[in-house]
Amino acid sequence: MTEAPPCILELAGLTKRFAPGLPPVVNALNLQVQRGELLTLLGPSGCGKTTTLRLIAGLERPDEGAVRIAGRDVTAPFAPPERRGVGLVFQDYALFPHLTVLGNVLFGLRHLPRAERLPRARETLALVGLTVFESRRPDQLSGGQQQRVALARALAPRPSVLLLDEPFSNLDAQLRHSTRQEVRAILHQSGTTAVLVTHDQEEALAFSDRLVLMRGGQIEQVGPPHEVYAQPRTAFVANFLGRSNLLSGTADRHMARTALGVVPLREAASGPVMVSVRPEHLGFTDDPAAPEVTIVAREFKGHDVTYTVRLAGHAQDLLVHRPSDEVRPEGSQARLQVLQPARAVQ
């Protein structure tokens, strides 16, 4: 039997209010992060994800509960950020403009013996691929390079946990994608445990080993990104993480009767249900027994096409994702089929 990796970060009953009498922004949150794991806190504005990160960092004090880092309770007594063994990377990078790349990384190593600082700084710059830029100043670097300097400065002290708050949001779309991949590879290569906060669903899916979807200060669902996406437990998860078609129906074991007809279910259910059908799990068919729809809108995206279709005899519109070689005109009629079993959600 494979032994689970040790827990490096634990949140136990973590609660935070910003004013007496107001609902908690973070509400009795329990979470464990394993050593070397890349975990993402995802959710809409106001869900508590950034406050959770600030509580881990020591930038906020919890009203209740505990934060344990590498087995040490850093909330009782309260430890400030510099005594928690955490690294911080924010969206504005906060680099010192008057220092070189090497100087910025060295700044975070003042606690080390002098003889160890320069080798450690250069070792970390090599890890992030910036050795040849060590004598440049931040304004001589691209946005992606500045982001890697901030990462190197945070990694150089070898923190127990690296905390990243929307670190890619200031980059343009193409640079954001490539930088995100580079950072993920660097963190895995170095074995760093990291917690990322983002509101970007694509970023969360691509970056994470495990995803925590938050709502109202609590965890709505947690798991590997592919599992949370494919098996949403609630209508909120189905709609927030990607887009989904929600259909009311009546379940009888592994099928549900809906406006789309009989829809197969991943898991057995009975009685009234809400069924989540991802747009990519719908397709067009020539089967005359399949339900008829009208294509009311079409959005061509290059690699695929998103159709908005309306079921005959129903006011509900559905989304359908199909390959770009299946282009159908707006206003045309079609037949719709479910290609994969759906998920009954709460």
- Local confidence pLDDT in tens for the 346 residues of the chain: 445 557 999 999 999 999 888 899 999 999 999 999 999 999 999 999 999 999 999 999 999 999 999 999 999 999 999 899 999 998 887 899 999 999 999 998 988 899 999 999 999 999 989 999 999 999 999 888 998 999 999 999 999 999 999 888 888 878 888 888 989 999 999 999 999 999 899 899 999 999 999 999 999 999 999 999 988 999 999 989 888 999 998 988 899 999 888 999 988 888 898 899 999 999 999 999 889 999 999 998 888 899 999 988 888 899 999 988 878 899 999 999 999 988 888 7
Strand, helix or coil for residue 309: strand
How many C-beta neighbours within 10 Å does residue 90 have? 15
Q: Which two tokens stand for residue 234?
A: 């609630």
CA distance 267 to 250: 14
CA distance 316 to 247: 9
- Give the model's pLDDT for residue 1: 45
- Give the model's pLDDT for residue 278: 92
CA distance 138 to 284: 53
Contact criterion met (CB below 8 Å) for 138 and 104: yes
Phi (first) and psi of residue 77, to 5 degrees:
-75, 160
Q: Which domains does the chain have, with CATH numbers?
A: 7-230 (3.40.50.300), 238-345 (2.40.50.140)
- Give the model's pLDDT for residue 5: 57
Instruction: Give 74's contacts (C-beta < 8 A, 6+ positions apart).
Output: 58, 67, 68, 83, 84
Taking the model in full, what pTM does it have? 0.88
